[in-house]
Amino acid sequence: MTLSSSPSQSSLSSFGWDEAWAAAFAPYAAQGLLPGRVVRVDRGQCDVMTEDGVVRADTAFVTPHDPLRVICTGDWAAVEATGNPRYVKAYLPRRTAFVRSTSSQRSEGQILAANVDHAIIAVPLAVELDLGRIERFLALAWESGAQPLVVLTKADLVPDPAALAYLVQDVETTAPGVQVLTVSSHTGEGTDVLAAVVADGTSVLLGTSGAGKSTLANALLGADVMDVREIREVDGKGRHTTTTRNLLALPGGGVLIDTPGLRGVGLFDAEAGVGQVFSEIEEYAEQCRFHDCAHEAEPGCAVREAVAEGALAERRLESYRKLLRENQRIVAKTDARLRAEIRRDWRMKSAVGRANYAAKRGGRA
């Protein structure tokens, strides 16, 4: 994919520049630096959209040891006005940041996109819905500070209106407080509604490989800008058609960041995001007898009572526990105090378990 460097297409306002960004950039403007939005990053360099068009710049000055502070697609950067090469000297504080955990044993965070207003989670209807994966994406989206939106792609593959309605209902139950749209890039169904949503602000497209993100991006862009490849019929997956994160201005307003398909969607310090996804469980939890109820075997547990009465699905509770445990493990690897609390809690539970076992054996240890 190539980016135009024509000044007529490089108005910063169409890429999200506003008075607040201008005020934040004032100290850099006084130094003679140019403002611009990062539209692509690769191998220590980035493409930055400035008032003069796209500038290729080196990121050596903004490459810290902390992977969460490296420059990324969506950042607003301060770029040298001249030079060969030009350098990015700094970037403005981010309003939002989409972060996931890497697959490394160090459990570092990886920033995928910055200054995002809408997180579009693309879910294909060509294969069976994975509600747990949707919840995982939603947790990261809520934690980022962006507004999530679930888009069920390839809706034309579910011709039965009743079946489609059931699928939408399942996702709506999984995503409380989140708009759910059905879209078909093949027939055009729903694309006008989605275009209206993303016309205001910056949106990022998220999903697994084969979710139809690139096809959806082309529909929003009104042109075949992103490469599209066939997916395997056996599992609905395909090769990554997008290999870098690209920021593109939409013809109807707003900008879009298309991302590669994500195989792993690890949480990274996303407790608040998990709580938002499972807001109904946290509301029930406020009625539990004990404020630190684990919702397992404690007396007076309102969450378990809701499951028993059929008001809360057992699957939802299990998914909630799983994501909280995963997030706790990630945070504990970098938080010594939390590690100590986890060990203390584990010892306490072990002592209670031994006491209960001894009581069952008539007091014999």
Q: pTM for this one?
A: 0.80
C-alpha 180/C-alpha 130 separation (Å) is 15
- By CB neighbour count within 10 A (0-12 exposed, 13-18 middle, 19+ buried), where does 7 fall? exposed
Provide CB contacts within 8 A for 134, sequence distance 6+: 121, 123, 150, 171, 174, 175
Least confident among 55-69, 173-187, 261-275: 261-275
Confidence category of residue 325, pLDDT binned at 50, 70, 90? confident
Query: Looking at residue 335, what is its pLDDT?
Result: 52
C-alpha 143/C-alpha 97 separation (Å) is 9
Least confident among 86-100, 199-213, 335-349: 335-349
Query: Looking at residue 11, what is its pLDDT?
Result: 79
pLDDT at 7 over 50: no
pLDDT at 268 over 80: no
Query: Looking at residue 4, what is its pLDDT?
Result: 44
Dihedral sign of CA atoms 184, 188, 192, 195 in order:
positive
Q: How is 236-296 classified by DSSP, letter by letter? A: S----S--S-EEEE-TTSSEEEE----S--B-SS-HHHHHHHTHHHHHHHTTSSSTT--SS
Taking residues 53-82, what's their average pLDDT? Answer: 89
C-alpha 16/C-alpha 53 separation (Å) is 15
Residue range 120-146, pLDDT digits in tens: 999 999 889 999 999 989 998 998 899
Percent of the chain with pLDDT over 90: 51
Q: 11 is written with which tokens?
A: 């108005």
Taking residues 2-9, what's their average pLDDT? Answer: 43
Query: Looking at residue 104, what is its pLDDT?
Result: 47
Cis ω for the linkage preceding 251 (within 30 of 0): no
Residue range 175-206, pLDDT digits in tens: 999 999 999 988 888 999 999 999 989 999 98
C-alpha 112/C-alpha 166 separation (Å) is 32
Query: Looking at residue 227, what is its pLDDT?
Result: 52
C-alpha 324/C-alpha 98 separation (Å) is 18
Rg (CA), the chain: 24
Query: Looking at residue 106, what is its pLDDT?
Result: 52
Which residues are 255's β-sheet partners? 202, 249
Query: Looking at residue 234, what is its pLDDT?
Result: 43
Taking residues 89-111, what's their average pLDDT? Answer: 79
Residue scoring higher pLDDT (330 or 104): 330
Least confident among 234-248, 262-276, 349-363: 349-363
- Rounded mean pLDDT of the chain? 82
Whether the Cβ atoms of residue 124 and residue 155 lie closer than 8 Å to each other: no
Provide CB contacts within 8 A for 240, sequence distance 6+: 209, 260, 261
Residue scoring higher pLDDT (98 or 270): 98
Closest CA relative to residue 216, chosen from 125, 127, 153, 130: 153
Residue range 278-301, pLDDT digits in tens: 999 999 999 999 988 889 888 999
Classify the phi-psi angles of 44: left when phi > 0, otherwise alpha if psi is within -120 to 50, otherwise beta: left
C-alpha 291/C-alpha 141 separation (Å) is 27
Q: 159 is written with which tokens?
A: 């011709």
Whether the Cβ atoms of residue 201 and residue 209 lie closer than 8 Å to each other: no
Provide CB contacts within 8 A for 364, sequence distance 6+: 358
Confidence category of residue 226, pLDDT binned at 50, 70, 90? low
Residue scoring higher pLDDT (257 or 269): 257
Query: Looking at residue 292, what is its pLDDT?
Result: 85
Dihedral sign of CA atoms 158, 160, 163, 165 in order:
positive
Residue scoring higher pLDDT (342 or 20): 20
Taking residues 229-258, what's their average pLDDT? Answer: 67
- By CB neighbour count within 10 A (0-12 exposed, 13-18 middle, 19+ buried), where does 180 fall? buried
